[in-house]
Structure 1
């Protein structure tokens, strides 16, 4: 399976599907590990997990896994010892594994009261290599879309001109991109978000809920009633004005 990489010991390439993107609070709903031995033998195992919390609709929209799909699946605590044994002695690989998968895996093991050792392992992150080799900055975008070198990079005036040229070239390059500002705004925004910060959305019943942050999944009215100090903090923090307006209205209703 590997044609260009030499293995001295087993490599386990892993990927997680989860309830969200917050590595501190979100939970695993599926784990897949492809274990490759130095001799070339492979063992690919995938297991769904009952996260013990509802899977948000926005997460299901990404990976297609619903609450019903995992209702009869084991918890992470149940599979944790076996997974640790399967990964024992393996180096680890993944896409964005350093910033995401490993952090979430460590959090799940911590909740299960177990250790997941990473010391001594080699970790290969394809996302890190991708971003390092193919930079995703303004200079790289100008070169890619416009075929020009960005002279005066990081000077505000030159960056503005380059950005405008890139936007125009992107619309020309991709037939499915809108040609209007309204259309491009919709393309760049989360259609389910109620505010520019993406803090609030609506559940299936049309009730405003937090879609990220420490109260993710809770309704705005619940937080306004139980934790008004959190909304007070939001009004003083660096959220956009539309986010603050929603929080302020909820506080007034709760008061």
Structure 2
């Protein structure tokens, strides 16, 4: 292990990373989740292949992708097209109307939460807030978002003092996860699951149930937000960092 654990939890044999788990990611029109519109979405489903006897390595899971290209009904700014590569023209020509796609995306995610499947979302407050706002626009019932696994929150907790950026790309490199076609929803969703799995392998203390880990992340995110707010207030006394997680 490269870094000492910063908390002490007993691992158990019912860990979230051994069963079905789903990666979720969005590409959008804005960095502001309150105004962003969805232009692509993906669920990447990891299905375990068999029960694993003690002492043996698990076989590679089967991976299935469900994705959407969405016509958001607004212009896609050039600065966001530069990130994910989706132009307004392509979205209009090839994408589903948002009024059709958003309820489908919400329903698919709701089904995963309803069955207790851990949904892995890197920087969950952004993607889930975007989807919640879109659900409100189009009259879809947004589910209770739990259990969620957020590799960004977990990495900040287990390796607090590591220097460097913590984007999905940087974490993929750090945990030796291949991230091809970065900033496409399906590639990012898959990489988020693989980074989360790598975290579980490196830090056995997070090998607990998804519900337990979800509750821990709520507290971790609040602590991280308070620390960042204190840092910002050294130069900006009115700085506020939102502690809410996962939405």
TM-score by length of 2: 0.49
Q: Return the structure number with greater relative CO, CA threshold 8 A, min gap 6.
A: 2
Question: Which structure would you say has the larger Rg?
Answer: 1
